[in-house]
Amino acid sequence: MRGVYIHIPFCQQICHYCDFNKVFLKNQPVDQYIESIGQEFSYMKEAGYSFEEVETVFLGGGTPTALNVPQLDRLLTIVSQYIDVTALKEFTTEANPDDLSEGQLSILKEKGVNRLSIGVQTFNERLLKQIGRTHSNEDVENVIKAARKVGFENISIDLMYSLPTQTVKEWEDTLDRALALDLPHYSAYSLIVEPKTIFYNRMVKGKLPLPGEDIEAEMFAMVIDRMNAAGRDQYEISNFAKPDHPSFHNLIYWENSHYAGIGAGAHGYIGQDRYANVGPLTHYINLLDEGKLPHKEVHEVSLAESMEEEMFLGLRIIEGVSMKGFEQKFQRPIHKVFGKPIEKLQQQGLLKIDGDHLRLTRKGIFQGNTVFQEFLLGD
């Protein structure tokens, strides 16, 4: 496996758009949960999984930095027992701007974390309140200053557009503030209203005034053009970076490579198996206490599914899918498997061949879901 994702489900607040496995931090068995992560590592190793070739580790959530300094210290100590963190290409933690202290930053740096992914979403304080965030713009600037002081250089922030009532001008102002921070990496995601979220419940009641598809497309075009002009290349549909500063961990997903998912609700892909862990904390902890891996479901990925995933994950990367790489991996030419959709999408101006790579055109980037559906072999 090339990567390890570790899920920390604790939050100080619940954002209105979030559908990830998460719980309020207060009164939760946090210390016990951290020890359970160590148990899961141990059982995976006993089951024959090797962590020797791991290139990246990603702490996600929830909010990993909802943990206090001793808890973070213990978690990172456990990780280093199974993974040589000094050899990692990248070790990332997600964080919120208002719960990352200098003490936390210091222990993260000391224990090998070398990249921060900070959830900012917007620099409009009206919209921040509207989406359930509790930080301020000042918090963002202060935490980035503190992180740089401790020695973090590889810092990314997440931004969101097409938020309820958001205007194009408000999005432009957020991009101005974001780029003024001069960070090596930015992610920008369009709001997707997921079931079981506060926003979904409001949408069902007709109380979620979204900007609409045309304005969303205008906002997407703006972030692409502004980021490229600022020297942050669009290397994936929603991600922009200076040269040599992509999210190496996320590239593992998009390259359809193998990774372990550890923690309650985490997902992994090892060998031919995609698996999901149980979500409820007590269920997760109890299974590990019983000496069992906490897998809720395991799906053996068929050859057809693997080839489909190779296309719709790989085409998210702007460089595209290597035709030689596809043939080496699956022992069949890409045109033999996907000749018809490739020809159709080329004629529609959504896909192009660039040397050895099949990649989205600019028009294709805006209609990604249309493109990806064409590579479902069952249809």
Q: Is pLDDT above 90 for 262?
A: yes
Q: What pLDDT is attached to residue 117?
A: 98
Q: Given phi > 0 = left and psi -120 to 50 = alpha, else beta, which region is 72?
A: alpha
In the predicted structure, residue 111 carries a pLDDT above the cut 60: yes
Average pLDDT score over residue span 352-367: 97
Residue 210: per-residue pLDDT:
85
Bridge partners of residue 160, in order along the sequence: 189
Supply the pLDDT for residue 12. 77
Q: What is the mean pLDDT of the chain?
A: 94
Rounded mean pLDDT, 274-286: 97
- Report phi then psi at 3, rounded to 5: -140, 160
pLDDT band at 378 (very low <50, low <70, confident <90, very high): low
Min mean pLDDT across 197-206, 222-231, 271-280 is at 197-206
Q: How many percent of the chain have pLDDT more than 70?
A: 97
Q: How many whole angstroms separate alpha carbon 144 and alpha carbon 123?
A: 14
Per-residue confidence band for 122, with pLDDT thresholds at 50, 70 and 90? very high
For the stretch 84-95, pLDDT in tens is 999 999 999 999
pLDDT for 167 equals 96
Of 122, 145, 125, give the one whose Cα is nearest residue 136. Answer: 125
| Alpha carbon distance 278, 297 (integer Å) | 8
List the chain domain ranges. Answer: 3-253, 303-373
In contact, 176 and 220? CB cutoff 8 Å = no
Listed in sequence order, the residues at least 6 apart from 12 whose beta carbon sits closer than 8 Å to its beta carbon are 24, 25, 63, 66, 96, 99, 134
Distance CA 309, CA 298 (A): 17
| pLDDT on residue 19 | 62
Q: Specify the DSSP element, H or E, that contains 225.
A: helix 213-229
Is the confidence at residue 135, as pLDDT, over 60? yes
Kindly report the CATH number that applies to the domain delimited by 303-373: 1.10.10.920
Instruction: Check pLDDT > 60 for residue 379.
Output: no
> What is the sign of the dihedral through the CA atoms of 183, 63, 100 and 39?
negative
Helices and strands: H and E segment counts in the chain = 15, 17
- Residue-level pLDDT at 192: 82
Question: CB neighbours (10 Å) of residue 341?
Answer: 18
Q: Rounded to an integer, what distance in angstroms lies between the CA atom of residue 140 and that of residue 186?
A: 14
With cut-offs at 50, 70 and 90, classify the pLDDT of residue 14.
low
Q: What pLDDT band is residue 202 in, cutting at 50, 70 and 90?
A: confident
| Choice between 199 and 46, residue whose per-residue pLDDT is larger | 46
61 touches 28 (CB < 8 A): no
- The H or E element that residue 40 is part of is helix 30-46
Kindly state the helix (H) or strand (E) to which residue 174 belongs, with its residue range: helix 168-180
Asked whether the beta carbons of 18 and 4 are under 8 A apart, the reply is no
CB 362 within 8 A of CB 217: no
pLDDT digits (tens, 9 = 90+) for 169-183: 999 999 999 999 999
Q: In this structure, which topology does domain 3-253 adopt according to CATH?
A: pyruvate-formate lyase- activating enzyme (3.80.30)
Summarised one tens digit per residue, pLDDT across range 308-346 is 999 999 999 999 999 999 999 999 999 999 999 999 999
Residue pair 265/279 in contact (Cβ under 8 Å)? The answer is: yes
Helix H or strand E encompassing 270: strand 267-270
Percent of the chain with pLDDT over 90: 86
Please choose, from the candidates 378, 369, 309, 319, the residue with its C-alpha nearest in 3D space to the C-alpha of residue 345.
369
For residues 170 and 127, the answer to whether their CB atoms sit within 8 Å is yes
DSSP code string of 238-266: TEEESTT-S-HHHHHHHTT--EEEESTT-
pLDDT-derived band at 11, boundaries 50, 70, 90: confident
